[in-house]
Amino acid sequence: MISKETPSALKLDPQRGFLPEQDPLLALPPRFQVFDEVARSLPRLIPAGRVRASLEALPHFETEALQDGASIRRAMMLFSYFGHAYVWGEACAARSLPARIAVPWVELANRVGRPPILSYASYALDNWRRIDPEGPIALGNIELLQNFLGGADEDWFILVHVEIEAIAAPALARLPAAQSAAAENRADLLTTQLEEIATALELMCGSLGRMPEWCDPHVYFHRVRPYIHGWKNHPSLPEGLVYEGVGEYDGQPQALRGETGAQSGIVPCLDAALGIGHQPDPLRLYLDEMRGYMPPDHRAFLNLLEAGPSIREFVTRERDSLPDLAEAYDSCLQWLTRFRAIHLEYADVYIHSQANRDANNPTDVGTGGTPFMPYLEKHRAETLGHRLG
């Protein structure tokens, strides 16, 4: 979690990265017990066809009663699951969301600085607990707090992302120091920093490579993916979703992107620090839009890196005289290319190659509402093309 300092002094915890500085809360304060109970019941309510009726029966949620950040983030997580369960939890997509859900959801979203939709921060960053509280944030010692249908495939899909966030933490924490080393012409220090970043990237690839162990492509597509779509560029909700009772929306449908790993700050931060540019394309524009779905302090850290000294320029200038430096830089790009290649492979196997039988779950666009296959391949190739050797 980023320290609450001025933007010029933003730092990441090398053990936590973009994960919260304290493990997510397991429950809201006792007065909100009914909301936790309904959340735990979603895996039973959805198959029974009772999820909308149950959510409509919830009591008024007093968002103003929550003052600490951890409780607000948990409430945002729960209402994000409520909203998506309501929209996608029965045969036909709901075109409007009742005020009982919509109003507190928008209020909570405004407080956390993200749109009122299930985004990566609620789906992954704030949605885990350690089995052994003294153990690592790693597969085998983490479990999910909230899901839609439950089961190993849904849990594993999210928990792999949580582990990747923890693995990425030391790499992200080193990026500002690496930029400073480049600005100060400290080649030895920069080489060490880049070597450590490459090591973290290699471990990230190893974690992502474990996805098929417990997450089957067919199960993912038919039982996990349907609930994380948004309502922008979605064929079932072409106009978006109406948030009933929300004055600031004046009854107009809102078009918002669905949950996607593109809302994680890891890869954008690495691209920014390592100087990896991508030529304009629809995915590039989409990725820029995804920043608005990140927690505000994550966006601030990314902006800080983009405005920082250029590592790539320094390494390019010194690569002939300092081959170890150039090799360390290229190693980072090699593993980042590999990470993107694994993601591209999964996009094909888990989504693009699946049989499309449901208009609510299209294969030609991602959960964020964009066509993805050609652009993921292009970004992988562009990353590889930035290698110096």
Domain with 27 in it: what CATH number? 1.20.58.480
| Amino acid (one-letter) located at 73 | R
Residue 7 has pLDDT above 70, yes or no: no
Whether the per-residue pLDDT at 375 is higher than 90: the answer is no
Residues 6+ apart with CB under 8 A from 296: 113, 114
CA dihedral sign of residues 178, 183, 189, 190:
positive
For the chain, what is the domain count?
Answer: 1
pLDDT-based confidence at residue 106 (cuts at 50, 70, 90): very high
User: Mean pLDDT, the chain, as a whole number?
Assistant: 92
Place of tokens 């993912």: 220
| Burial of 359 per CB tally in 10 Å (0-12, 13-18, 19+) | exposed
Decide if 192 is inside a domain.
yes
pLDDT (0 to 100) of residue 316: 97
Reduce the DSSP state of residue 130 to 3 states and report it.
strand
User: What span, in angstroms and rounded, lies between the C-alpha atoms of 254 and 237?
Assistant: 10
- Considering the domain boundaries, does residue 355 fall inside one? yes
More confident residue, 2 or 128: 128
Question: What is the rounded CA–CA span in Å between residue 62 and residue 235?
Answer: 34
User: CB count, 10 Å around CB of 90?
Assistant: 15
Per-residue pLDDT for 360 more than 80?
no
- What would the pLDDT profile of 285-301 be if each residue is shown by its tens digit? 778 899 999 999 999 99
**355 — pLDDT class (breaks 50, 70, 90):** low
pLDDT of residue 376: 75
- In terms of pLDDT, which residue wins out, 279 or 386? 386
Confirm whether 298 is domain-assigned: yes
Q: Is the pLDDT reported for residue 5 higher than 50?
A: no
Tell me the longest C-alpha to C-alpha distance in the chain.
70
Q: Find residue 237's DSSP bridge partners.
A: 234
Q: Please report the pLDDT score of residue 2 as a whole number.
A: 45
Residue-level pLDDT at 374 = 67
pLDDT in tens, 150-206: 999 999 999 999 999 999 999 999 999 999 999 999 999 999 999 999 999 999 999
Range of the domain at 288: 14-385
Tell me if 5 is assigned to some domain: no
Residue 47 is assigned to a structural domain of this protein: yes
Residues counted in the chain: 389
d(CA 359, CA 93): 10
CB within 8 A of 195, min separation 6: which ones?
328, 331
In a domain, 8, yes or no: no
pLDDT class for 366, splitting at 50, 70, 90? low
pLDDT in tens, 244-288: 999 999 999 999 999 999 999 999 999 999 999 877 777 677 788
Greater model confidence, 76 or 365: 76
What residues contact 388, with CB distance under 8 A and at least 6 apart? 315, 316, 319, 326, 329, 330
pLDDT at position 389 over 90: no
* pLDDT tens string 191-223: 999 999 999 999 999 999 999 999 999 999 999
Would you say residue 2 lies in a domain?
no
pLDDT at 377: 80
Residue 3 is assigned to a structural domain of this protein: no
Q: Comparing 16-20, 216-220, 358-362, which segment has the lowest mean pLDDT?
A: 358-362
Which position has the higher pLDDT, 237 or 378? Answer: 237
Question: What confidence tier does 9 reach under pLDDT thresholds 50, 70, 90?
Answer: very low
